[in-house]
Amino acid sequence: MGPAKFMRAAALVLAAVASAMVSAEAEGRQEVSREMVKSTLASRRAGMNLTITLNTLGGRAELGPEALGANGLEGEENLCDPNVGQVAGYLTLAEQNKHYFFWFFESRNKPESDPVAVWLTGGPGCSGMVGLFNELGPCKVNKDGASTHLNPNSWNANANMVFIDQPGETGFSYGDGDIDEAGVSMDLYIFITEFMKKFDKYSGNDFYTVGESYGGHYVPAFANRIFNENKDRAEGVPHINLKGFGVGNGLTDPVEQYKYYAQMAFNSTTAPSRVSERVYHNMVRQTSTCIDLIAECNTKKHPRFKCQLALMECNQMLVVPYTSTGYNVYDMRVKCEVPPLCYDFSEVDKYLNSARVQKYLGVQKKWESCNMQVNQQMSGDFERRYQQLVPPMLEAGIRGLIYAGDCDYICNWLGNRAWTMKLPWSGQDGFNDAGEKPWMVGDSEAGKARSHGPFTFLQVYQAGHMVPLDQPEAAKAMFETFISGGSFP
């Protein structure tokens, strides 16, 4: 999620959930999704060949500075960063009628040995191109919506970056969607293993996945899928050298995170107070009801309607009081200027929907930052907890970074800090006892870090939901510390 990644502007939330409330058909889709995952896993472990193809535009099977652009149309200038190899295309999962669009950029430093990192934008239903062009990609779109300029703070400075439009109809992708993390994580696992088979020059490189907002669901599920599948791979399926996972301003443990909305709205200590004391006390009174609903969603059977009810009721109790003030749910310092997503990224919309760029990319679909239909399809997954997937990876020494801009409301730093401290793992006491220490970027204090062993929580000063947008230099330094194995305090 992110600006163009609506974790929900109130009215849309309620309308979306109401229209998506459970039906027998929705429950049936959930069962089909589970069976598809089981079938896919069984096929891979039996060594069967799946009808999955990775199509790179223009037939570019090799990367390097000579592979400029997406498909190298004669006479066409490079769309984004002319100094690195890049490939755009579709991963096609024919059995599932899924066609995932991706855009890959080599590292500006040492692509042959630098890590590979997959970026997952949230929503659910928001395009990876939002992260690419508005936050951390190699270039940004100019105000004319017709050209780009290099981003000096791009995360591909020392990493090979992959941006994906997922699930389903998100961005330039098309075909069937997913409704839960079982489907999402399976599709992403297929993507990365097929990518590494196609471009095996990277197959031994360290691998990281990082995401934002609803990436708090996607990233733990995807990383944990890799972690488990590495133990029991089918013949011919590459080992993914998973080294770490990161989540920025994410929704990972709703049971803990929803407890902090009232405090964030009234007295966060890092952002302006946006509700009255009376509204604050009313929010506090309703919080326990909300938490009970989310807990019921997370029971063993967790029927979708219980989760959708929790989403609708909790947002009515704890999100609507804030959004009704007119302030940006993603940045408490400013008004929501362009409802419902609050930010104006119209130049990216113009750029990606131009005939020239679409011809160059080989796509024939109108691009939109976020797809509300995809968002609705995932409504039964929204209040599910995914923090329980983190401890096994930490115990294995895989690095985890949870970071949060401290001016975001919807996935605020208070709730994110709370769930990391509640997380049961062998290092929990050490993590909690570590305290928070200044995090320096150059000569400036950019935030506070709490670290122990492979796990870090990072509060980023004066940043909203999209940390790389608001604090680009600090975000780049954070990412490079993370992938290099450095320490934060």
Q: Which of 338-352, 441-455, 457-471 has the lowest mean pLDDT?
A: 338-352
What is the mean predicted confidence (pLDDT) over 401-427? Answer: 98
Task: Give the H/E segment covering residue 430.
Answer: helix 428-433
- The pLDDT value recorded for residue 24 is 40
CA dihedral 174→177→181→185, nearest 10 degrees, is -40
Report pLDDT digits (tens) over 131-180. 999 999 999 999 999 999 999 999 999 999 999 999 989 999 999 889 99
- The pLDDT value recorded for residue 41 is 58
- The pLDDT value recorded for residue 35 is 61
- The pLDDT value recorded for residue 432 is 98
* CA R_g for the chain: 21
What is the number of alpha carbons within 13 Å of residue 316 lying toward its C-beta?
14
Could you please state the CATH topology (level 3) that the domain comprising 1-489 is classified under. Answer: Rossmann fold (3.40.50)
Residue 129 has pLDDT above 50, yes or no: yes
Alpha carbon distances (Å) from 355 to 223, 255, 304, 360, 367 = 36, 45, 40, 8, 12
Domain boundaries, the chain: 1-489
- Single-letter code of the amino acid located at 182: A
pLDDT band at 303 (very low <50, low <70, confident <90, very high): confident
Residue 405 has pLDDT above 80, yes or no: yes
One-character DSSP codes across 125-143: TB-HHHHIIIIISSEEE-T
The β-bridge relationship of strands 160-164 and 116-120 is parallel
Residue numbers annotated as active site: 213, 408, 465
Task: Give the H/E segment covering residue 119.
Answer: strand 116-120
Per-residue tokens: 340: 């419902």
pLDDT band at 304 (very low <50, low <70, confident <90, very high): confident
- The pLDDT value recorded for residue 489 is 79
Report pLDDT digits (tens) over 83-110. 898 888 888 876 778 899 999 999 999 9
**CB-based burial label for 232 (10 Å; 0-12, 13-18, 19+):** exposed
**254 vs 344, more confident:** 254
- The pLDDT value recorded for residue 109 is 96
Residue 21 has pLDDT above 90, yes or no: no
- The pLDDT value recorded for residue 487 is 93
- The pLDDT value recorded for residue 88 is 87
- The pLDDT value recorded for residue 42 is 58
Between CA 324 and CA 389 the distance in angstroms is: 35
Average pLDDT over all residues of the chain: 87
pLDDT band at 17 (very low <50, low <70, confident <90, very high): very low
Report pLDDT digits (tens) over 266-295. 999 999 999 999 999 999 999 999 999 999
Tokens 């097929």 locate to 194
Residue 459 phi, psi (nearest 5): -90, 125
- The pLDDT value recorded for residue 87 is 87
Report pLDDT digits (tens) over 47-88. 444 444 444 443 343 444 333 334 433 334 567 888 898 888
Per-residue tokens: 3: 């600006």
